[in-house]
Each structure stands twice: as structure tokens, then as C-alpha cells.
Amino acid sequence: MKKIFQYGNGLLMGLFSVLFFATLLFAIISPNLVLGDNPKTGAGTTMVTTTGIIIVMAIVVTWLTSGHFKRWTQQVFVVHKRITVSILLAFTILWQISFVLNVHPPIGFDVGAIHEALHKPISPELTGYFSLNYNNLPLLLVQHFFATILHSTKWLTFDLLTLLWVDLSALMNVLSVWVIDARKVVAAVYIHIGWLIFFPMIIVSYSDTWVLPLVSGYFLCYCLMRKNEFSWWVRILAAIGFGVTASAAYFIKPSAIVGVIAIGLGEILFQFKKDPKESANSLENWGILVITILALGSSYLGFNHVVQNQNYVVYHKDRQIPAVHFISMGVSGDGGYNPKDALKMAEFKTKRQRAEYSKKVLFHRLKQKGVVGYTKFLVKKHRNNTADGTFAWVKEGHFINENPIPKGKGWAGQLRQFVYLYGKRLGDFRFWAQAWWVIWLILIAFGWRNQRRTNQVMRLTILGGFLYLLIFEGGRSRYLIQFLPAYLILASLVYDQSILFFKHVYYWANGIPKKDN
């Protein structure tokens, strides 16, 4: 039995390492990290980035050469870490609120269609849109619910809600880390602060961000269920919560259940690694499993009933786009959105016709590429799917649905320069977001020694996300957002192993005897 576990775990680590280190390499060589003029992206860095780099280098050099400064940083960030992290967290939240209050433009692509339906749900254009893009109907119903309660359909209202969901996701991620290893909570908060500061997607009220608290929610519930030290009623509530959040995540963004599948596969894998402590609680664990399945099934039926019987927007279910369409689209161009494929779907009257056409095009594209060509295509697509640390900011069509040249003075005008398509400092934002993405990936990549059950589930989720985006429509890293809770939790749990790895490399390079810590 243990051999099966060792084989399965080895296969997981092998596949994960290949794809993850490829992601790290692609992130490091990303054009976002080019200093000065950037012919690749068209948005170069300015003195803002140059000054920032000089400050960072000065801090690093001072830390390496000054014992007094090193002791001071030790006091601030380690000894008094709770005070420091609390101040930084408060600053981060104030920064987010300020950003949303000053920058809340109308957003285009699918976000704009959903927002328009909050104003005039009955229109031929929107009927056609939701007939083809049925998967966005649950999100519309949720946003309509909040619009009714809050008596507002303003972009600012939904951006503030998006901010709330993102921060709620961060809170639940930190709670998951607390359940698994309370000693790493402060480090988890530091890591989440780094993410939140460089995450302007809080002004994009779409399924990518609205599904985050649900994904974080079912991860938290899973961690609680796995903890035998908790009371039985806590684990039962967690099982119910898991079922509800997992079902809700599926309706908001179907691909977000990759984490649920990863949890299932992880549990099956670790059944082959016998633990005497778990055997004593096997009956209780089976009971938790039954409750989880019942909660999952009943939640799905309930949510499905609401969606099927809604009367807010008119749509034709037989005009839905089949899943094979997105697989076919994922083999075209750079693996991303293909407007020609999308327009072709509108020409067919039934879902069956769309499926047959998509299958035909898929096989033609695969045959045209051949084995070698398709392999090269997958490598390029994986780069497009994962390398960009801005998560494809302003890379969708009509991303910011107003004049892309930022206007206005003062604080709001300065902020827009960093995030609008033709902002003077867009390159600066891309540089620092990319730099943090590289650091984040490094914290995960070199922590391979820590292969606890929860860590392996997170690795399975990340691997599942990679494979999903290689098969279906991808082409840009925005689709990674739904999987970020797994990245954040895993980085928080294995960062110490990555730091230890680099310490050992340093000791080896300088001929210093290796230390245990």
C-alpha cells in the first residue's frame, strides 16, 4: 500500500515540479521585468521604478553590512512581528479602499455585459449573451441580489463588494494556515499583504474575484474537517460549509471546483499511507464524509433550482456553448480567446450543432499541429497562462470601458496613470507586480521537502489549474486568479523550507559547515 502512495506522490511531485519550475522560469524572463523602454509591452518603467530599485538595493546592502540595522529589522519584523504586521495590514486595507474610491471605471468584456443586465435585463442583446454564456447567469443573479439589497447598481458599489470578497478570501486563507500550523500565521499575513497591494483586480467585479471567498471557504472547511483535535460539532459544521461553498463555487465559476477534485484525489492518495491515529477515528471520519456528500448534493440541487427557475433575465438554454468549444478554442492562436470561434457559435441554432462543429475544428487543429507542433504549442501556452504577474491586467478587449488615456489630477489622476492602458506608469505597476509574483513563486518552488497532506492538496490544485488551462481556453494569466488561494496557502506553509534551501546553498557556496536551521 505504501508503494502505491510513494508512486502516486512521486508522480504528483514530478509533474508539479516540471510545470511549476517552467512557470517560475517564464515569470523571471517576462517582459514585465524589462527596465526603461519596453518595445515588447509598449509600457516602459519610469523613475518611480528606478527610485524603488535604488531604495531596495540600499536596504539590502545596509542589512548585509550593518549589524545595528540587522538587529533593528529583527526587532521590528520578528520580535515585534504582531505589531508590525497589524500596522502593515491596516495600511494595506486603507490603500485598497483609497484605490477603489478613486479608481472605479466601467469595465468591458463579460463584466460589462453582466453589469448592463443589472440595469436592463430584458433586451435582445442580453438574451443572446446569456443564452450563449449561460455560465455567467448565476453571477448575475448574485449581483442582482446585492443590487436589490443595497439599492445601487453603481460600479463603485460592486467594486467595494469585490474588495470585501477578496479580503474575506485572504482572511479565510490565513485561518486555514492557523488551523494547519499556527506558528506560520504572521508569515501568512505578510505574504497576503504582498498580494493585496499589487492586486488591482478589486475593481473588476467578475467571477474571477467573486469566487475567491468560496474557494478559500472550502479550503478552510477542509482543513477544519481534517483536524481531529477539533470537536465533532465543529467538524460537522465544516463539512456542511464545505458542501455549500464548493457547490456555490461551481455555479459562480465551474472551473473553481478543481480544488474540490484535488481534495478528493489527495484524500484517496493518502489512504494508501496508513496512520494509526487516523484509524482510531475512522468511524467519525466516515460520518464526516457522508455529511459532506449530503451537503454538497443538497446545495447543488438548491442552487440549481434557483438558477433554473429564475425569471430575471430571458435566455434560451438550448443555445448554450458546449464545453468542447472551449477545448477547441484552447488549441487555436495562443490558446486564448478566439473571436472567430465565438462568432461562429452564434450561427448555429442548437447546442448539438455547436458541439459537432467544435469537435470537427478541434480534431482539424490537432491534426494540423502534429505531435511536435502541439507539444511546442503547449509550452508556449503554459507561458501565456502563468507568466504574467499582473494576471493579464488591461489585456482583455475593452478592459477599462472608457477613454484608456487617464485624465484627472490629484491622487485619483496619479493612480490611474498606473492602471490605465495608456497610463504613463503602467510599466511601473507591471514591474513591481511581476517582481512580487517571482518572489511568491520562489517561496513555493523550493519548499518541496514539506509534503504534508494539506500541502499536497494545494499542489494538486495548482497542478490541476495548470492542466485545465492547457486543455481549455487560456492564453492569459487572469484565469489563475481562481486558484490563488492554493498558491497563498502553500506559500505560507512552505516558505521556511525555501528559505532554508537558499541558506544551505549559501553555506555550500562559501564553504560554511551546514547548519540545521
pLDDT digits (tens, 9 = 90+) for 399-448: 999 999 998 889 999 999 999 999 999 999 999 999 999 999 999 999 99
Of the spans 101-110, 273-282, 312-321, which averages the highest pLDDT? 101-110
Over the Cα atoms of the chain, what is R_g? 24
pLDDT at 278: 54
More confident residue, 27 or 333: 27
pLDDT band at 345 (very low <50, low <70, confident <90, very high): confident
pLDDT at 111: 95
CA 47 and chain centroid, separation:
30
Residues whose CB is less than 8 angstroms from the CB of residue 459 and which lie 6 or more positions away in sequence, other chains included: 12, 13, 16, 490
Do residues 132 and 345 touch, judged by C-beta distance below 8 A? yes
**Half-sphere exposure of residue 258, counting CA atoms within 13 Å on the CB side?**
25
pLDDT band at 347 (very low <50, low <70, confident <90, very high): confident
Measured CA angle at 15 (ends 509, 392), to 5 deg: 90
Secondary structure tally for the chain: helices H, strands E: 22, 0
Do residues 406 and 416 touch, judged by C-beta distance below 8 A? yes
pTM of the model: 0.95
pLDDT at 277: 55
pLDDT at 2: 85
pLDDT digits (tens, 9 = 90+) for 450-466: 999 999 999 999 999 99
Residue 58 has pLDDT above 90, yes or no: yes
Residues whose CB is less than 8 angstroms from the CB of residue 439 and which lie 6 or more positions away in sequence, other chains included: 194
Do residues 202 and 98 touch, judged by C-beta distance below 8 A? no
- Please give the Cα distance from 415 to 423 (Å, whole number): 9
pLDDT at 441: 98
pLDDT digits (tens, 9 = 90+) for 249-305: 999 999 999 999 999 999 999 998 876 555 556 778 889 999 999 999 999 999 999
**Mean pLDDT on 94-122:** 95
Do residues 203 and 103 touch, judged by C-beta distance below 8 A? yes
3-state secondary structure (DSSP) of residue 295: helix
Residue 320 has pLDDT above 90, yes or no: no
pLDDT digits (tens, 9 = 90+) for 485-502: 999 999 999 999 999 999
pLDDT at 516: 55
Q: What are phi and psi of 103, to 5 degrees?
A: -130, 100
Residues whose CB is less than 8 angstroms from the CB of residue 438 and which lie 6 or more positions away in sequence, other chains included: 24, 27, 28, 33, 389
The grid cell for 40 is 515588447
pLDDT at 386: 97
Least confident of 36-40, 154-158, 243-247: 36-40
3-state secondary structure (DSSP) of residue 480: helix
The grid cell for 290 is 457522508
- Please give the Cα distance from 175 to 179 (Å, whole number): 6
pLDDT digits (tens, 9 = 90+) for 199-252: 999 999 999 999 999 999 999 999 999 988 899 899 999 999 999 999 999 999
CA 517 and chain centroid, separation:
32
Residues whose CB is less than 8 angstroms from the CB of residue 376 and which lie 6 or more positions away in sequence, other chains included: none
**Mean pLDDT on 504-511:** 86
pLDDT at 214: 98
**Mean pLDDT on 358-369:** 93
Closest CA to 484 of 468, 467, 461: 461
The one-character DSSP state at 332 is S
pLDDT band at 343 (very low <50, low <70, confident <90, very high): confident
Do residues 459 and 320 touch, judged by C-beta distance below 8 A? no
Residue with cell 489527495: 266
pLDDT band at 511 (very low <50, low <70, confident <90, very high): confident
Residue 517 has pLDDT above 70, yes or no: no
Least confident of 172-176, 261-265, 385-389, 392-396: 392-396
3-state secondary structure (DSSP) of residue 363: helix
Least confident of 188-197, 322-331, 502-511: 502-511
- Please give the Cα distance from 21 to 18 (Å, whole number): 6
Do residues 481 and 166 touch, judged by C-beta distance below 8 A? no
